[in-house]
């Protein structure tokens, strides 16, 4: 089935989300749709999936015009969308989730689960998805849950699959397996729209690529004819440099030191086991690892959000094992949290209020028990300017900023004061390329001022780009350490350590296994 | 736009000045705070009229009842006095509920906090003797405030220590307070001499809130609690939007994860917010006893603590909004009594209309649909994700 979008335009108030877009989706082909957050990708796909209707333009299915008045129409026409955020019932089994809404019944509304299971199993094996069809969703890893979403649209006989940022939630290994499935679908004649902002994925999987910027198609063609730099420039609208270009680090005194730190949760399960690590002034240390291997707990232990069970945490020569979040904050620990929506900001507060979210009690912005808002506002305005937070006013609700600007706001808040240690957890998650570049530069600049920087990221590229030393976490332990001064770390070995395969350590690091504290 | 230019140093650059210009669309907050409640009130009156028509009340009587309502609420100095008198406890208790809301807590217990606060104030008003009004009256009000705070803090402590939901615990504390009131009112040191029914001794003159319009007419009931109410509005506004504590409350209410991240102690915040909410409700109870009723009787709070929830909702948990909502409810209360007298329509109709107003305010989309021209938004951009 081929789909053609012709002259699609869509406007939301003053925002031209899509402008005169022409796009062809062909059977047996992966179309990569590349664009930054806010470029209009989701709008376009929501038009295709019937959620929005276009102001102008038409959709042709196999040459004949189709009119969608709701999501039901596009599904009926064989178009299925896999959303970035899954829509699954956690306590239902895979089969139950797949058939939800289109349950095969016989007799008087009798749910024919057997027929359904056979059907789901057939799709499952045909594309090599290896999904346990009777398992409950909540017991499955994210990568498998995503396949259930794909099963759902295939069960509804979709010929065209729209995959919205499908790799955002996957580990590097899962991405590889996912690509295998995508190729199997393509080879079976399905048309696939692969939405992403990751360039290397386009180069790897797409047969054709279309680049969206500010609602318009700014380039399309064979991905092989573009370099990563070309694509990035098309996407952002100006040349982008990928390597941060960090100079040799000048390692100084030990700023952060964890000695034998273990942490047990309320259920007495070990979340951190005998962690020894150190971060020095003037160096960036990266924590690599598949999500959920203790990184969150490590950050909470360092910033004071969770009390450690055993072990000691030293900061600039002082024991801070039992210091509170605020004490650590005052001593110069900055924390960029992993999920800005969950903890890093308050969407309903103004930019200015967010700028003092965790320092509103500090003497520099208070007089007695009052907050001196004039000082807060002035400081917030200055921070917005020096950290490139693009907002028309500091009185604007932070929730209406773009993801990149929200994250820059958090970064500005954490870096604008005097700090000694920056704990940056997933510092560029859900952020556009331009902002990623900017945030990386700021972190390196912080290092160059002699501060210690600890970066925790599930994006291995980010770790490799920024870090002078790398620790790999696996199941709550430090599985390996690597020296990355001059970019010498072995990507493959790190990948293996992330998967828990080896206890390998590259020779250059000069230390082994779990004892990574020596300078 | 600001992003391109950089400024350094503390001097105010033009870019910085631009950033300091308020961006909030004042029209939309105006809509939220005023137009929406007014439209809701109009709809509620309309449905009220329909109900009256359905019960074969003559059209001229319906008209007469609305005129009576206006007359009884703002039509004379006496009407205004009654409106304000009714608004005082509603606003005070509403402020407490609104503050708890802002901190993410649903305080259903204002009624119970008013009961214990009012009861304690009543006891202090006749057991303590020989003080001048300058000492006795503040003491009585402070006792009501403190007991209300302690009573609400119980629910806060239960939540902080064990995770017990405050809605459940405050409802239970309401039930306890009502029985406790009946029980206490039969105790010899509280019960009025020579009475077998539960009723307290009268508040001593030194503990009475003075009536402030007595110089005009001895029947005007408006008392000095009005000033306490206005001061409370200002104090709570300051607390929420100017103080460190209020900022912590608001972070906790908006995003508990962010509060934790910011090092705010959740348990302490919960207990503090509940205690302040209870203090305001307790004060409302004390003011009713000292300024209006002159004694404690079973059910003396008359559901004001529950109406105050509606007031807080209608006022969007904003102190000024709560003041206006409390005045509106006070007016409906006073006007309703006049309506009953003049038009013979039951005051139950007022309760129905109050509830309808809240339903319409709680369903703003519905009101927007009914009156699209009032809510035509200037299109706003930048929120679309691509």
The model's confidence at residue A51, banded by pLDDT at 50, 70 and 90, is confident
Same domain, yes or no: A485 and A396: no
- Whether the Cβ atoms of residue B295 and residue B192 lie closer than 8 Å to each other: yes
A126 shares contact with chain B (CB less than 8 Å):
no
Window from A155-159, A168-172, B44-48, B340-344 with minimum mean pLDDT? A168-172
Using the Cβ of A223 and the Cβ atoms of chain B, whether some distance falls under 8 Å is answered with: no
- Chain mean pLDDT for chain B: 89
Chain A residues within 8 A of B376 when measuring between CB atoms: none
> CB of B383 within 8 Å of any CB in chain A?
yes
The per-residue pLDDT for A101 is 82
Kindly report the CA angle at A134 between A133 and A135, in degrees rounded to 5?
A: 100
Q: Do B261 and A337 touch (CB under 8 A)?
A: yes
Q: Specify the 3-state DSSP secondary structure of A413.
A: helix
Which of B12, B247, B384 lies nearest to residue A43, judging by beta carbons?
B384
Cβ atoms of A97 and A147 closer than 8 Å: no
Q: Summarize pLDDT for A437-491 with one digit per residue, the tens.
A: 899 999 999 999 999 999 999 888 889 999 999 999 998 999 999 999 877 788 8
* Domain CATH code at residue A453: 3.40.50.300
Clarify whether residues A205 and A260 are in a common domain.
no
Among A127-131, A227-231, A369-373, the range of highest mean pLDDT:
A369-373
Domain count for chain B: 1
The helix/strand/coil state of B55 is coil
Residue A341 lies in a domain: no
pLDDT tens string B307-318: 999 999 988 899
Chain B: closest CA distance from residue A319 (Å): 19
* Separation CA A465–CA A398 (nearest Å): 29
What CATH number did the domain enclosing B132 receive?
1.10.3470
Q: What is the pLDDT of residues A305-331, one digit of tens each?
A: 999 999 999 999 999 999 999 999 999
In the listed set A417, A437, A454, which residue is the last one of a domain according to the structure?
A417
Nearest CA in chain A to B379: A13
Domain ends where: A400, A417, A434?
A: A417
A381 vs B381: CB contact, 8 Å cut-off? no
- Contact predicate A395/A350, CB 8 Å: yes
Confirm whether B259 is domain-assigned.
yes
Does residue B384 register a pLDDT over 60? no
Let me know whether A135 and A62 are in one domain: yes
Q: Which of B95, B103, B57, B129 is nearest to B281 (CA)?
A: B95
A282 in B contact zone (CB under 8 Å)? no
Residue B58 sits at the chain A interface (C-beta within 8 Å): no
Using 50, 70 and 90 to split pLDDT, how confident is the model at B376? low
Chain A residues in contact with B260 by the CB 8 A cut-off are 305, 343
Residues A287 and A386 occupy one common structural domain:
no
Is residue B239 a part of any domain in this protein? yes
* Interface-testing mutation among B1, B16, B19, B101, with chain A (most A C-beta atoms within 10 A): B19
Question: What integer is the mean pLDDT of A228-251?
Answer: 76
Q: What 3-state class would DSSP assign to A24?
A: strand
**Nearest CB to A344 within list B24, B250, B258:** B258
Which of A212, A304, A350 is the closest to B386 by Cβ?
A: A212
Q: Confirm whether B283 is domain-assigned.
A: yes
Query: Given A344, A378, A393, which is nearest B23 (Cβ)?
Result: A393
Q: What is the mean pLDDT of residues B322-340?
A: 92
Percent of the residues in chain A that have a pLDDT greater than 90, as a whole number: 55
Q: Count the alpha carbons within 13 Å of B294 in the hemisphere toward its beta carbon.
A: 7
Would you say B33 and B321 are in contact if contact means Cβ atoms under 8 Å apart? yes
A338 within domain boundaries:
no
Q: Answer yes or no: is B11 within a domain.
A: no
* pLDDT in the model for residue A50: 86
- Is the CA virtual torsion B170, B272, B277, A358 positive or negative? negative
* Whether residues A313 and A373 fall in one domain: no
**Top-confidence residue, A327 or A232:** A327
Please indicate whether, in this complex, the C-beta atoms of A329 and B10 are within 8 angstroms of each other.
no
Residue B386 has its nearest CB partner, among A40, A329, A380, at A40
Q: Are A458 and A290 in contact (CB under 8 A)?
A: yes
- What Å distances lie between residue B86 and A22, B80, B107, CA to CA? 65, 10, 21
- For B82-111, what is each residue's pLDDT tens digit? 999 999 999 999 999 999 999 999 999 999
* Number of domains chain A contains: 3
Mean pLDDT of A209-227: 89
DSSP assignment of B271-337, as one string?
HHHHHHHHHHHHHHHHHIIIIIISS--TTTTTTHHHHHHHHHHHTTT-HHHHHHHHHHHHHHHHHHH
Residue B365 sits at the chain A interface (C-beta within 8 Å): no
Q: Which residue of A has its CA nearest to B1?
A: A392
Q: Are A273 and A280 in contact (CB under 8 A)?
A: no
Whether B55 contacts chain A with CB within 8 A: no
Residue B134 has pLDDT above 90, yes or no: yes
Over 80: is that where the pLDDT of A261 sits?
yes
Whether residue B205 lies within 8 A of chain A, CB to CB, comes out as: no
Q: What is the mean pLDDT of chain A?
A: 87
User: Mutating which of B20, B261, B264, B268 best tests the A interface, going by the most A Cβ atoms within 10 A?
Assistant: B261
For residue B3, list chain A residues with Cβ-Cβ distance below 8 A.
Answer: 388-390
Residue B33 placed within a domain: no
Nearest neighbour of B2 by CB, restricted to A15, A324, A390: A390
Q: Indicate whether A340 belongs to any domain.
A: no
Last residue of a domain, one of A198, A218, A236: A236
Which chain A residue shows the shortest CA-CA distance from B16? Answer: A381
Same structural domain, A47 and A187 = yes
- The residues that bridge with A216 in the sheet, in sequence order, are A213
Residue A135, domain member (yes or no): yes
Binding-face residues of A in 342-371 toward B, CB within 8 A: 342-350, 353, 357-358, 360-361, 366, 369-371
Q: Which residues of B touch A14 (CB under 8 A)?
A: 379, 381
Check: CB of residue A187 under 8 Å from CB of residue A179. Answer: no
Distance, CA of B364 to CA of B355 (rounded, Å): 15
As a whole number of angstroms, the distance between CA B131 and CA B139 comes to: 10
Predicted pLDDT of residue A507: 42
Band of residue B47 on the pLDDT scale cut at 50, 70, 90:
very high
CB A445 within 8 A of CB A416: no
In a domain, B306, yes or no: yes
Interchain contact, B384 vs A15, CB within 8 Å? yes
A43 touches chain B (CB under 8 A): yes
CB contact, 8 Å: A377 with chain B?
yes
Q: Both A38 and A179 in a single domain?
A: yes
Same domain? A76 vs A136: yes
The whole-number average pLDDT for the span A65-86 is 85
3-state secondary structure of A227: coil
Kindly report the length of chain B.
386
Residue B135 contacts A where some CB pair is shorter than 8 Å: no
- How many beta-carbon pairs under 8 angstroms link A with B? 150
pLDDT of residue A199: 82
Please check whether residues A253 and A323 belong to one and the same domain: yes
Asked if residue A342 is part of any domain, the answer here is no
| B1, B13, B386 ranked by CB distance to A17: nearest | B386
Tell me what the mean pLDDT of segment B31-58 comes to: 86
Percent of chain A surpassing pLDDT 70: 94
Does B57 reside within a domain? no
Rounded distance, CA A234 to CA B79, Å?
71
Q: Among residues 150-169 of chain A, which lie with CB inside 8 Å of chain B?
A: none
Token pair of A343 as six digits: 């903890």
Task: Report B:68-127 residues touching A (Cβ under 8 A).
Answer: none
CA distance A22 to A5: 5
Residues of chain B neighbouring A342 (CB-CB closer than 8 A): 255, 257-258
- Taking only the tens place, the pLDDT of each residue in B169-185 is 999 999 999 999 999 99
Shared domain check, A75 and A140 = yes
In a domain, A108, yes or no: yes
Q: How confident is the model over B349-370, as a mean pLDDT?
A: 84
**C-beta atoms surrounding B218 within 10 Å:** 8
Residues A226 and A354 both lie in one domain: no
Q: Please name the member of B15, B245, B381 whose beta carbon is closest to the beta carbon of A385.
A: B15
Kindly indicate the confidence band of residue A513, based on its pLDDT and cuts at 50, 70 and 90.
very low
Predicted complex ipTM: 0.85
pLDDT at B379 over 70: no
Q: Give me the domain span that covers residue A135.
A: 3-236
Residues B215-241 have pLDDT tens digits of: 998 899 999 999 999 999 999 999 999
Residues A97 and A224 in one domain: yes
- A148-167: average pLDDT: 91
* Domain span including residue B235: 87-329
pLDDT of A516 over the 70 cut: no
**In this predicted structure, what is the pLDDT of residue B226?**
98
């Amino acid at each position: 089935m081929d789909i053609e979008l012709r002259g699609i335009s869509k406007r939301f108030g003053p925002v031209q989300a899509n402008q005169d877009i022409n796009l062809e989706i062909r059977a047996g082909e992966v179309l990569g749709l590349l664009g930054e957050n806010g470029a209009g990708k989701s709008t376009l796909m929501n038009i295709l999936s019937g959620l929005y209707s276009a102001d102008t333009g038409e959709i042709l299915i196999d040459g004949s015009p189709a009119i969608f008045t709701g999501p039901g129409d596009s599904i009926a026409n064989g178009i299925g969308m896999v959303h970035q955020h899954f829509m699954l019932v956690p306590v239902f089994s895979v089969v139950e989730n797949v058939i939800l809404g289109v349950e095969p019944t016989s007799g008087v509304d009798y749910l024919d689960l057997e027929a359904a299971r056979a059907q789901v199993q057939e799709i499952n094996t045909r594309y090599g998805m290896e999904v346990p069809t009777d398992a409950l969703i909540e017991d499955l890893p994210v990568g498998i849950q995503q396949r259930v979403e794909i099963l759902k649209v295939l069960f509804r006989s979709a010929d065209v699959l729209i995959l919205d940022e499908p790799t955002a939630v996957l580990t590097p290994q899962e991405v590889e397996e996912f690509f295998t499935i995508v190729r199997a679908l393509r080879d079976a004649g399905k048309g696939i729209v692969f939405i992403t902002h990751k360039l290397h994925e386009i180069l790897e999987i797409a047969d054709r690529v279309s680049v969206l910027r500010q609602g318009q198609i700014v380039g399309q063609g064979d991905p092989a004819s573009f370099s990563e730099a070309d694509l990035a420039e098309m996407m952002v609208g100006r040349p982008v440099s990928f390597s941060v270009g960090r100079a040799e680090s000048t390692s100084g005194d030990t700023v952060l030191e964890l000695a034998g730190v273990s942490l047990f949760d309320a259920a007495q399960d070990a979340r951190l086991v005998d962690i020894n690590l150190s971060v020095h002034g003037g160096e960036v240390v990266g924590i690599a690892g598949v999500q959920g291997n203790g990184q969150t707990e490590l950050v909470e232990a360092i910033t004071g959000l969770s009390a450690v069970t055993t072990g000691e945490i030293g900061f600039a020569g002082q024991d801070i094992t039992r210091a509170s979040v605020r004490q650590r904050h005052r001593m110069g620990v900055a924390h960029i949290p992993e999920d800005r929506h969950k903890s890093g900001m308050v969407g309903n507060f103004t930019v200015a209020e967010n700028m003092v979210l965790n320092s509103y009690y500090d003497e520099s912005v208070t007089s007695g028990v009052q907050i001196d808002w004039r000082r807060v506002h002035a400081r917030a305005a200055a921070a917005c300017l020096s950290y490139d937070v693009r907002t028309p006013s500091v009185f604007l609700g932070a929730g209406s900023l773009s993801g990149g600007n929200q994250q820059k706001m958090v970064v500005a808040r954490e870096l604008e004061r005097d700090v000694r240690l920056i704990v940056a957890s997933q510092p560029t998650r859900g952020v556009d390329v331009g902002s990623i570049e900017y945030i990386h530069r700021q972190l390196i600049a912080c290092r160059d001022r002699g501060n210690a920087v600890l970066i925790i990221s599930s994006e291995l590229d980010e770790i490799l780009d920024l870090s002078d030393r790398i620790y790999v976490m696996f199941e709550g332990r430090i599985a390996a350490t690597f020296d990355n001064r001059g970019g010498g770390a072995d990507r493959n070995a790190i990948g293996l350590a992330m998967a828990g395969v080896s206890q390998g350590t590259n020779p250059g690091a000069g230390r082994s296994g779990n004892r990574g504290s020596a300078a | 736009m600001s992003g391109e230019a950089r400024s350094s140093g503390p001097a105010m650059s033009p870019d910085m000045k631009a950033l300091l210009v308020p961006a909030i669309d004042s029209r939309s907050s105006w809509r939220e705070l005023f137009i929406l409640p007014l439209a809701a009130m109009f709809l509620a009156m309309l449905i009220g009229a329909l109900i009256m028509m359905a019960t074969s009340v003559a059209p001229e009587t319906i008209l007469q009842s609305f005129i009576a309502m206006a007359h009884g609420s703002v039509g004379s100095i006496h009407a205004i006095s009654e409106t304000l008198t009714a608004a005082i406890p509603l606003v005070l208790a509403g402020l407490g509920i609104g503050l708890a809301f802002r901190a993410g807590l649903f305080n259903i217990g204002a009624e119970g906090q008013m009961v214990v606060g009012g009861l304690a104030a009543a006891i202090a008003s006749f057991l303590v003797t020989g003080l001048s009004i300058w000492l006795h009256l503040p003491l009585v009000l402070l006792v009501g405030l403190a007991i209300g705070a302690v009573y609400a803090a119980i629910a806060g402590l239960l939540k902080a220590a064990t995770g017990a939901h405050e809605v459940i615990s405050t409802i239970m504390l309401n039930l306890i307070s009502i029985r406790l009131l009946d029980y206490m009112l039969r105790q010899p040191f509280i019960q009025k001499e020579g009475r077998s029914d539960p009723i307290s001794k009268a508040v001593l003159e030194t503990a009475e809130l003075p009536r402030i319009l007595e110089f005009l007419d001895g029947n005007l009931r408006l008392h000095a609690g009005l000033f306490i109410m206005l001061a409370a509005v200002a104090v709570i506004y300051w607390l929420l939007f100017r103080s460190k504590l209020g900022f912590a409350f608001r972070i906790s209410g908006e995003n508990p994860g962010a509060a934790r991240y910011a090092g705010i102690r959740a348990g302490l915040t919960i207990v503090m917010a509940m205690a302040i909410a209870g203090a305001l409700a307790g004060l409302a109870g004390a003011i009713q006893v000292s300024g209006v009723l002159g004694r404690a009787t079973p059910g003396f709070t008359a559901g004001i603590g529950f109406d105050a929830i509606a007031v807080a909702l209608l006022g969007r948990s904003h102190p000024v909004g709560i003041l206006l909502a409390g005045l509106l409810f006070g007016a409906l209360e006073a006007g309703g009594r006049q309506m009953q007298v003049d038009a013979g329509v039951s005051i139950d109709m007022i309760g129905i209309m109050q509830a309808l107003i809240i339903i319409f305010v709680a369903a703003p989309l519905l009101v927007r649909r009914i009156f699209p021209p009032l809510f035509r938004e200037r299109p706003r951009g930048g929120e679309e994700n691509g």
